[in-house]
C-alpha cells in the first residue's frame, strides 16, 4: 500500500491496519464461490445471504461480523463509484456513449471547428440526383 499514490503520507499504524483489512478481505473473497464473486447481490439481497456469509466467514477462518463489514464496504464503494461516474458524465455534458457508439476523435481533442460544425447540425447537402427520381 505504501507504493500507491498518497500512500507515502500514511502513518505506520494506519498502513498496518489497512494491510490487515486487505488480508481479511482477500481471505473472505477467496472463500466465495465464482457465482458469488460475479453476483455480489447474492450476499446482499438474496434470501440465503445470511447463510452464505456464515459459510464464507467459516471457510476463511473469520467472523461473520468481518464478512458483514466486507459486504457493507463493498456497497459503500459501489455507490461512491456510481456517484463519481454520474458527476463525470455531468461534467462532460451528456451521457456516456454505449459500446456500439462511434466516437469522433475530434470531440475529445482541441479541434474547435469540427466540434462546432457537429454541434450546429446545420442543413446537410444532398448529392445531385442521378436520373429520374433516383435518390
The answer to whether position 128 is within a domain reads no
Is the model's pLDDT at 21 over the cut of 50? yes
Question: Domain holding 48: CATH number?
Answer: 1.10.260.30
Give the Cα separation of 69 and 87 in Å (integer): 27
pLDDT score at 90: 87
Domain hosting residue 18, numbered range: 13-94
What does the pLDDT average to over 59-67? 96
This prediction's pTM: 0.60
Q: How confident is the model at residue 132 (pLDDT cuts 50, 70, 90)?
A: very low
Q: Please indicate, yes or no, if residue 33 is contained in any of the structural domains.
A: yes
By CB atoms closer than 10 A (0-12, 13-18, 19+), residue 70 is buried
Separation of alpha carbons 107 and 116, rounded Å: 9
Residue 124 has pLDDT above 80, yes or no: no
Between residues 105 and 13, the one the model is more confident about: 13
Indicate the number of domains in the chain.
Answer: 1
Amino acid at each position: 500500500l505504501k507504493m500507491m499514490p498518497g500512500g507515502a503520507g500514511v502513518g505506520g499504524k494506519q498502513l498496518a491496519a489497512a494491510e490487515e483489512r486487505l488480508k481479511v478481505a482477500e481471505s473472505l473473497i477467496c472463500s466465495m464461490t465464482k457465482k458469488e464473486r460475479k453476483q455480489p447481490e447474492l450476499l446482499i439481497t438474496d434470501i440465503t445471504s445470511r447463510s452464505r456469509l456464515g459459510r464464507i466467514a467459516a471457510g476463511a477462518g473469520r467472523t461473520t461480523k468481518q464478512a458483514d463489514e466486507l459486504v457493507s464496504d463493498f456497497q459503500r464503494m459501489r455507490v461512491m463509484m456510481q456517484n463519481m461516474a454520474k458527476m463525470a458524465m455531468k461534467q462532460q455534458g451528456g451521457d456516456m456513449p454505449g459500446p456500439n457508439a462511434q466516437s469522433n476523435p475530434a470531440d475529445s481533442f482541441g479541434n474547435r471547428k469540427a466540434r462546432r460544425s457537429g454541434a450546429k447540425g446545420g442543413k446537410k447537402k444532398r448529392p445531385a440526383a442521378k436520373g429520374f427520381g433516383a435518390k
